[in-house]
C-alpha cells in the first residue's frame, strides 16, 4: 500500500485546492449495482460514458471497473479513458474516493476518509471503503487516514481556507455520533488545510445523502457561491434556500470577504415516474403532475475541470437559463451539458460521480 502518514495534512503544509484549480485528471467508477441501477445498469452506463467522454476532451479520465465489468467498460468508453480493474460496491467516486491535497511545492497527497454508505443507507459498502486507498496506491500517492466518516460531496472548498458544508449532513448522528461540532470542525481544519467553516442548514429536498452540499451550493470562485434557488413558496425547497441565503449573507470567508450569492434555478421538480395528465373537466383543460418519489435534482451538481464546466441537463424549462448563468460565472471555460436523468435515478449527479486529482507530483 502507498505510504500511510501519521502526521496531519495541515501541519505538513497541505490544503485541498479548489475544484477550478488545474487538474491532473478525473476519477470515476463504473456503475453496475443491480439494487441501485435499473435494467442491469445499462442506461446508467450510457450516461457515465457520456460524462467520461465529455471530460476526456479536456483532461485525463480514469474509470475504475470490477473484474466482471472491465471488458464491457473498456469497449464502451473512449480509448483515451484509462480503465483500471478495482472491486467496488457502487459508483459514487466523489463520496468513496480519495480527497487530494497539495502543498506550495506542488506535491500531491490524498486523504482517505471513513465511509459508511451515507449513514448505512446501502449495504454492503466494504469495497467502497477501500476505493480511496486503491486510488492512492495506483498513483503512488502518500495517504492520510482520517478518523472521520465523510463523503466528498458533503464539502466544497474555495482553495483559500474556507469550506462550505451543511449541518444536516456533517452533524448527522448516522456519521460521527461521538464527535461534537467543534471536533468535526477541527478535523476539517487538520485534513483540508482550512481555517473557516461556513455551515448551511438543510440540503436539497429529497436528497438521500442527508443534505450533501454539492446539491445545494458551491463555490465558483473565492467569495462567490452558487445557490440552488426556489421561487415557489409551496415547495419545501423554498424555505431551505432562503435559510441558506440568509446564512451566506451574514458570513465572511477565511480572508474576511463577504459572500456574493448567485442563484441557480431549481429544475422541475422532477419525479421518478415522470408525469400524468389529469382532465379537469369540460372547459377546464388538463394539468400535469409528477408521480412517485421526488428526485434530488440540482444544477449546482456541476463539475469544473481544465477549461470546462460539465453541467447536468435536467429540465428543458430551465436548462438554458442554468447554462447561461454558468457561462457568466466561468467565462474562460466551455460549458458542456449532458443529459443525466439516469444518474439522478441512482441518487446523484455529475459532481457525485467524479473526483478531481489536482496537478502536481506525488510526494
Dist. CA 224–CA 221, nearest whole Å: 5
Residue 41 phi/psi, 5° resolution?
A: 70, 5
- Residue pair 336/56 in contact by the 8 Å Cβ criterion: no
Q: For 120, left (φ over 0), alpha (ψ -120 to 50), or beta?
A: left
What are the grid coordinates assigned to 170, written together?
A: 456533517
Cα separations in angstroms, 250 against 142, 204, 211, 262, 329: 38, 21, 21, 15, 22
User: 55: closest CA among 310, 296, 324?
Assistant: 310
User: 344: closest CA among 231, 213, 208?
Assistant: 208
Dist. CA 85–CA 66, nearest whole Å: 5
Catalytic residues: 352
Alpha carbons within 13 angstroms on the beta-carbon side of residue 136 total 27
Amino acid at each position: 500500500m502507498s505510504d500511510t502518514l501519521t502526521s496531519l495534512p495541515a501541519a505538513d503544509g497541505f490544503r485541498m485546492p479548489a475544484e477550478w484549480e488545474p487538474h491532473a485528471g478525473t476519477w470515476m467508477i463504473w456503475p453496475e449495482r443491480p439494487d441501485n441501477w435499473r435494467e442491469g445498469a445499462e442506461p446508467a452506463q450510457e450516461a457515465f460514458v457520456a460524462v467520461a467522454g465529455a471530460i476526456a476532451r479536456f483532461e485525463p479520465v480514469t474509470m475504475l471497473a470490477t473484474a466482471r465489468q472491465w471488458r464491457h467498460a473498456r469497449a464502451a468508453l473512449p480509448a483515451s479513458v484509462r480503465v483500471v480493474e478495482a472491486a467496488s460496491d457502487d459508483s459514487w467516486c466523489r463520496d468513496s474516493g480519495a480527497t487530494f491535497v497539495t502543498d506550495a511545492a506542488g506535491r500531491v497527497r490524498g486523504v482517505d476518509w471513513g465511509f459508511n454508505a451515507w449513514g448505512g443507507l446501502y449495504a454492503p459498502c466494504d469495497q467502497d471503503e477501500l476505493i480511496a486507498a486503491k486510488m492512492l496506491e495506483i498513483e503512488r500517492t502518500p495517504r492520510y487516514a482520517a478518523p472521520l466518516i465523510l463523503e466528498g460531496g458533503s464539502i466544497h472548498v474555495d482553495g483559500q481556507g474556507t469550506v462550505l458544508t451543511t449541518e444536516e449532513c456533517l452533524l448527522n448522528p448516522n456519521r460521527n455520533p461521538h464527535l461534537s461540532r467543534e471536533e468535526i470542525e477541527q478535523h476539517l481544519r487538520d485534513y483540508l488545510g482550512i481555517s473557516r467553516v461556513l455551515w448551511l442548514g438543510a440540503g436539497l429536498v429529497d436528497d438521500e445523502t442527508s443534505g450533501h452540499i454539492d446539491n445545494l451550493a458551491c463555490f465558483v470562485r473565492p467569495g462567490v457561491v452558487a445557490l440552488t434557488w426556489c421561487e415557489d413558496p409551496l415547495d419545501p425547497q423554498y424555505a431551505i434556500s432562503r435559510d441558506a441565503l440568509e446564512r451566506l449573507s451574514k458570513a465572511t470567508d477565511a480572508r474576511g470577504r463577504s459572500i456574493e450569492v448567485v442563484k441557480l434555478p431549481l429544475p422541475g421538480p422532477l419525479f421518478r415516474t415522470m408525469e400524468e395528465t389529469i382532465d379537469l373537466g369540460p372547459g377546464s383543460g388538463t394539468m400535469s403532475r409528477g408521480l412517485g418519489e421526488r428526485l434530488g435534482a440540482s444544477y449546482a451538481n456541476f463539475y469544473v475541470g481544465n477549461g470546462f464546466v460539465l453541467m447536468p441537463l435536467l429540465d428543458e424549462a430551465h436548462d438554458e437559463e442554468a447554462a447561461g448563468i454558468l457561462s457568466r460565472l466561468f467565462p474562460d471555460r466551455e460549458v458542456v451539458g449532458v443529459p443525466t436523468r439516469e444518474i439522478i435515478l441512482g441518487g446523484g449527479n455529475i459532481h457525485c460521480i467524479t473526483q478531481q486529482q489536482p496537478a502536481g507530483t506525488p510526494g
